[in-house]
Amino acid sequence: MKWKSSYAIGVEAIDKQHERLFDISERIEELFLLPGHMDKFDEIVEIIEELKAYVIYHFNEEQQLMEKIQYPKYFSHLVEHQDFIEKINDFDLHELDHAQQQQLRELVDFIMTWLVEHVLEKDKAFATYCREKNM
Ligand SMILES: [Fe+2]
């Protein structure tokens, strides 16, 4: 879950935020890789809160930029952001207590897949539009 330079979209502020998101996700993966018999409940709750808070901040920053330049795909992009937040909110902490490793694995897979696809496709498309508009 390491950040790679190929993930850069060329908008500096956003790239920095994406890097931070990858950092948080990497820490979730590290938590998963710790021995399975450990009780990770508190750490998982804590890191999910951190992820949620940061992702809300980051999505807002992106959306403000999009509004500013009147990005034509603003609403479909917004829906993707909302879906992500919803999915993280739906993460069941009661379920977690019974199957921590399995839940963590699913969470890591979801975040990794979503983040890479979203950044490479949707955020890059936005960055291309910014460049076309000379922003
Ligand atoms: Fe985005």
In order, the DSSP letters of 68-118 are: HTT-TTHHHHHHHHHHHHHHHHH--HHHHHH-HHHHHHHHHHHHHHHHHHI
30 lies in some domain? yes
Span from the CA of 80 to the centroid of ligand 1 (angstroms): 8
**pLDDT over 90 (residue 135):** no
- Cα(113) to ligand 1 centroid in Å equals 14
Quote the pLDDT of residue 28.
Answer: 93
pLDDT tens profile 21-76: 999 999 999 999 999 888 888 999 999 999 999 999 999 999 999 999 999 999 99
> Which residue in 20, 13, 81, 7 sits closest to 50, CA to CA?
20
Half-sphere exposure of 52 (CA within 13 A, CB side): 14
The verdict on residue 2 lying in a domain is no
CATH of the domain at 27: 1.20.120.50
Measured in angstroms, how far is the CA atom of residue 98 from the centroid of ligand 1? 33
Per the structure, the complete domain to which residue 119 belongs is given by: 8-132
Distance CA 92, CA 97 (A): 9
Count of domains observed in the chain: 1
Q: Residue 84, class by beta-carbon neighbours within 10 Å (0-12 exposed, 13-18 middle, 19+ buried)?
A: middle
Residue 18 lies in a domain: yes
Residue 31 lies in a domain: yes
Tens digits of per-residue pLDDT, 109-131?
A: 999 999 999 999 999 999 999 99
- 1 within some domain: no
55 Cα–ligand 1 center, Å? 10
How far away, in angstroms, is 129 Cα from ligand 1 center? 13
Q: For residue 45, give every residue at least 6 positions away whose Cβ sits within 8 Å of its Cβ, in sequence order, or none.
A: 93
Give me Rg for the CA atoms of the chain: 16
